[in-house]
Amino acid sequence: MKQKGWKELVPGAVVLEGGSACKFKTGSWRAFRPVWIEENCIQCLFCWIYCPDMAIKVKDGKRGEFDYDYCKGCGICALECPGKKGKKAIVMEEEGK
Amino acid sequence: MATPLTLKELSKKEDLFTHGHRMCSGCGAPIVVKMVLMATDYPVIAANATGCLEVSSCISEYTAWKIPWIHTAFENAAATLSGVETMYRSLKKQGKIDKDVKFIAFGGDGGTYDIGFQSLSGAMERGHDMIYVCYDNGAYMNTGIQRSSATPLGADTTTCPAGSVIPGKLRARKNLTKIMAAHNIPYAAQASPSHWMDLMKKVQKAHSYEGPKFLNVLAPCNRGWRSKTNDAIALCKLAVNSCYWPLYEIENGVTKITSTPREKAPVADFMKPQGRFKHLFEPGNEALLQRVQEEVDAEWEKLKNAEKCGC
Amino acid sequence: MAKVVAVTGNEACANALRQVNPDVCGIYPITPQTDMMQRYASFISDGKVDTEAILVESEHSSMSACIGASAAGGRVITATSSQGLALMWEMLHIASGDRLPIIMPVVNRALSAPLNIHGDHSDAMGARDTGWIQIWSENAQEAYDNTIQAFRVGEHMDIRLPVMVCLDGFIISHSIERMEYLEDAEVKNFVGEFKNLYPLLDLEKPKSYGPLILTDLYHEYKRAQHEVMLKVKDVVLDVAKDFEKMSGRKYGLFETYRLEDADIALVILNSAAGTSKDVIDEFRNKGIKAGLLKPRLFRPFPYEEVAEALKNTKAVCVLDRSDSFGGYGPLFMEISSALYQLKERPVLINKIYGLGGRDYLPSHAELVLNELHGIAQGGKINIIKEYIGVRE
Ligand SMILES: Cc1ncc(C[n+]2csc(CCOP(=O)(O)OP(=O)(O)O)c2C)c(N)n1
Ligand code: SF4
Ligand code: SF4
Ligand code: SF4
Ligand SMILES: [Mg+2]
């Protein structure tokens, strides 16, 4: 990306587009990758509410896939996931393995 | 109308704090912010004190905030927001604006308990219509884990390091929630993101009052606490269950505990997984560990008494 | 129709602010400014303005709140002096960096320690590099006129910068002076409706103020800020032209007094210029060609114009009412920089006078003009920087 020169800047460094951080993908920070095992999912949405990176997609109140563009792989979702009958619906796997 | 507090309903709302922010993996602060904004059913403007949340959420042209947001400096989120809120009142009075707008300030513990204390006290006393949310991670994290007046007794930080003579911080935390309640504001409460419904109820309740409100929210920092990236919520649960971080509210001067642990866990359960307390479990520091437990017990007793006497 | 009144500098500024009727005002007491904002508070209490006051708990919070209010979108004022301005220092840079046109009369007072409540310029000179426009005023009339013009300058869409209007503590703020007020409607019409640039209260288009800017862009932002300052001079002159049409009073980047053919000259800010002018008249009567230059716009500083105005003099003394300890007086440094660009330039000396409200007397001006006269006649300079009016 071409860097802006001083004549192209917004006065006062005001950021004019709300939520523009979406353009900054943080998925590459991940060392571990959460994997969703749908059959163990009870749709409690705890993973969604606790995710610090808004990286779990939910549509019409139903849990969908991880958003790997942003997921930093912290593992909170996996730890908090109750799963079904003691079987977790999220497991963490090392990236690149 | 407040959104019903079910995760299903809440998940239909737009994220007002977006992904793409640059807080560390597993940081507690963005969880707090997202929950506070999720429980806010009004147009809202936020102010932010300098600190981890601020430097990671708005960098160059990338802002994670989908609401109007302002950061000016470290010690003045409350003063800055009081200016925004006053302009709003002025323009409303003059008939130049007709919307109902809410105001929320976010500050870390350093920006709230310490350097921003005067500015916060002033804004609360003046009666500005705002919720001030302190995300308390117990140290100046952004500058590298220095002690604040919110740092727990016994903790190892970079300015009160646990050494061979001095075993970390020797003073107990400042009880800021009570100090804020002593400003006779309509609502002051302590919350934790582990107890999301309790937290969001408190946000909704706070919004229902006009005037200044204060929320103190626990926000684990795995770097400063030297814990794991996945345990922010788990540690919050232990903090609540051990009464290290009791959940309560002071509404119009009346104290109410909003979550009583079924069985009060030893505070050591909360401390053990955190590297900042590691030295307290080594031989020679038993007395200090004991003192931590006693302080927690004493505060919990005081809180229960306050609830009992209706004050 | 203009109205002739006898008022103090503080009262004059308070009235100018009332006539502008800003949306939000930060108020905090400090001598000698206190009485200006007290008067303004009465205007609010008596319903004479629409302003909402923020009765802050410190000047740091005052400037913080003014920044918040200005970013929210509207016209914002406050006023301060001395320790108050010093406490604001951090936030002054943020007001200008965020490009917020906050208007602030500064009633100049000495800085502690030792504690002193009287007039000198240490406070505003300490805020010289904060990115604020600074306009200085000799008397109550100028303070009033400059306050009104400041809104037009700072709020200009090409500028959007905060402005300090400086006036001398006690000497001007508290002395009663005969001056003219404009009509309320004239002032209202002159400043016009406030125009927003990026208001936070525009909820449909959420903006973020105050991002973290890293090494890749910070330098560029500061370059852009410098560019804006370069445009200020023209705007100040345009606004002054309009103001003259309305009031009949003429303003420039600085004022010159009998300077055109002068051999020797004083450069001096604010109220002491008045005393100096009388002494210059006496020297003229003696046949000595003396003149004076009184800067008005100190930031941005009009270097070329000042050099042009002083270029034919033989010796100039810059009188500073503040000191940069271990350096020359701040005004002297500017004048030296301006004159250095000339091929032939006058000899330059620096006198520090009037600190902490010490009287500046005609005898001081006499002393300096005599010394300049000697230098202009080929005498040598004994000492470049020297305190005057000081006991041995
Ligand atoms: C006046 C001032 N002093 C010091 C700093 C340096 N500083 C920036 S952020 C920060 C720590 C913030 O700590 P806290 O408020 O607890 O937030 P956290 O980073 O822990 O989230 C410090 C000391 C500053 N920016 N301004
Ligand atoms: S691993 Fe962390 S960031 Fe990724 S989805 Fe789970 S909670 Fe979110
Ligand atoms: S926490 Fe586990 S069970 Fe609950 S919705 Fe998420 S994946 Fe499914
Ligand atoms: S240092 Fe701590 S508080 Fe700061 S972003 Fe990282 S985890 Fe969060
Ligand atoms: Mg902190």
| CA of residue B30 to ligand 4 center, whole Å | 10
Q: How far apart, in whole angstroms, are the C-alpha atoms of residue B77 and residue B81?
A: 6
Q: Predicted confidence band at C205 (pLDDT cuts at 50, 70, 90)?
A: very high
Contact C217 A5 (CB under 8 A): no
| CA of residue B50 to ligand 1 center, whole Å | 6
| B259 Rama sector, left if φ>0, alpha if ψ -120 to 50, beta otherwise | beta
Pocket test for ligand 3, best of A38, A57, A58, A63 (most atoms within 8 A of CB): A63
Q: How far apart, in whole angstroms, are the C-alpha atoms of residue A94 and residue B133?
A: 36
Mean pLDDT of C317-328: 98
* Residue A11 CA: distances (Å) to CA of A16, C153, C199, C228, C345: 11, 16, 13, 10, 39
Mean pLDDT of C298-303: 98
Give the pLDDT confidence score for residue B310 in this predicted structure: 79
Q: Show residues of chain C in contact with B76, CB under 8 Å.
A: 60-61, 64, 91
Do the beta carbons of residue B177 and residue B216 sit within 8 Å?
Answer: yes
* SS3 state at C329: coil
Q: Could you give the domains of chain A?
A: 25-94 (3.30.70.20)
Burial class (CB in 10 A: 0-12, 13-18, 19+), B252: exposed
Looking at this predicted complex, what is its ipTM? 0.98
Q: How far apart, in whole angstroms, are the C-alpha atoms of residue C322 and residue C325?
A: 9
For ligand 4, atom 2, which residue shows the shortest CA distance? Answer: B221
Q: For residues C143, C144, C145 and C149, what is the CA-based torsion angle, rounded to 10 degrees?
A: 90
Separation of CA B273 from chain center: 21
* Residue B237 CA: distances (Å) to CA of A34, B135, B245: 22, 16, 9
Mean pLDDT of C101-112: 98
The answer to whether residue A5 neighbours chain B at the CB level (below 8 Å) is: no
What are the tokens at C51? 């302003």
Q: How far apart, in whole angstroms, are the C-alpha atoms of residue C27 and residue A20?
A: 37
Position C113, amino acid: A
% of chain C exceeding 90 in pLDDT: 99
The answer to whether residue C73 neighbours chain B at the CB level (below 8 Å) is: yes
Starting at the earlier edge strand, list the strands of the sheet with B69-71: B254-259, B247-251, B187-191, B212-218, B130-136, B102-108, B44-48, B69-71, C208-209
Establish whether residue A90 lines the binding site of ligand 2, counting it when its CB lies within 6 angstroms of any ligand atom.
no
Tens-digit pLDDT profile for residues C165-198: 999 999 999 999 999 999 999 999 999 999 999 9
Do the beta carbons of residue C162 and residue C132 sit within 8 Å?
Answer: yes
pLDDT at A97 over 90: no
**Which of A1, A2, A9, A17 to substitute to test the interface with C, most C CBs within 10 Å?**
A9
Phi, psi of C209 (to 5 degrees): -100, 135
Q: For residue B28, which ligand has an atom nearest its CA?
A: 4
Q: Show residues of chain B in contact with C66, CB under 8 Å.
A: 83
Mean pLDDT of C288-305: 98
Contact B20 A21 (CB under 8 A): yes
Give the pLDDT confidence score for residue B1 in this predicted structure: 66
C256-387 has which CATH code?
A: 3.40.50.920
Q: Do domains C3-247 and C256-387 have the same CATH topology?
A: yes
Contact B69 C209 (CB under 8 A): yes
| CA of residue A66 to ligand 2 center, whole Å | 8
Contact A19 B64 (CB under 8 A): yes
Q: Show residues of chain A in contact with C209, CB under 8 Å.
A: 12, 14-15
Q: Predicted confidence band at A1 (pLDDT cuts at 50, 70, 90)?
A: low
Q: For residue B56, which ligand has an atom nearest its CA?
A: 4
Q: How far apart, in whole angstroms, are the C-alpha atoms of residue C225 and residue A6?
A: 9
Q: Could you give the domains of chain B?
A: 7-309 (3.40.50.970)
Domain boundaries, chain C: 3-247, 256-387
Q: Greatest CA separation found in chain B? A: 68
* Residue B272 CA: distances (Å) to CA of B75, B267, B282: 32, 9, 11
Question: What is the number of the ligand 1 atom nearest to the C-alpha of B148?
Answer: 16
Q: Which residues line ligand 4 (CB under 6 A)?
A: B 23-24, 27, 29, 52, 56, 137, 141, 221-224
Give the pLDDT confidence score for residue C238 in this predicted structure: 98
**Which of A9, A10, A20 to substitute to test the interface with B, most B CBs within 10 Å?**
A20
What are the tokens at C58? 């410190």
Position B251, amino acid: E
Give the pLDDT confidence score for residue B266 in this predicted structure: 98
The string of DSSP letters for C255-298 reads EEES-TT-SEEEEE-TTHHHHHHHHHHHHHHTT--EEEEEESEE
Strands (E) in chain B, as ranges, are 44-48, 58-59, 62-63, 69-71, 102-108, 130-136, 187-191, 212-218, 247-251, 254-259
- DSSP code, position C212: B
Domain C3-247: CATH architecture, name and number where available: 3-Layer(aba) Sandwich (3.40)
Nearest residue to C306 via CA among C371, C252, C367: C252
pLDDT at C7 over 80: yes
Contact A13 C216 (CB under 8 A): no
**Which residues fall within 8 angstroms of residue B10, CB to CB, at 6 or more apart?**
A49, B3, B38, B200
Give the pLDDT confidence score for residue B2 in this predicted structure: 84
Q: How far apart, in whole angstroms, are the C-alpha atoms of residue B158 and residue B146?
A: 5
Give the pLDDT confidence score for residue B43 in this predicted structure: 98
Measured from the Cβ of residue A25, the count of other Cβ atoms closer than 10 Å reads: 14
Do the beta carbons of residue C123 and residue C85 sit within 8 Å?
Answer: yes
* Residue B161 CA: distances (Å) to CA of A29, B296, C12, C295: 30, 22, 57, 55
Q: For residue B49, which ligand has an atom nearest its CA?
A: 1
Q: What is the mean pLDDT of chain A?
A: 97
Low-confidence ranges of chain B (pLDDT < 70): 1
Mean pLDDT of A57-80: 97
Measured from the Cβ of residue A68, the count of other Cβ atoms closer than 10 Å reads: 14
Do the beta carbons of residue C376 and residue C315 sit within 8 Å?
Answer: yes
Contact A4 C217 (CB under 8 A): yes
Contact B60 C211 (CB under 8 A): yes
B42, HSE (Cβ side, Cα atoms, 13 Å): 16
Tens-digit pLDDT profile for residues C10-50: 999 999 999 999 999 999 999 999 999 999 999 999 999 99
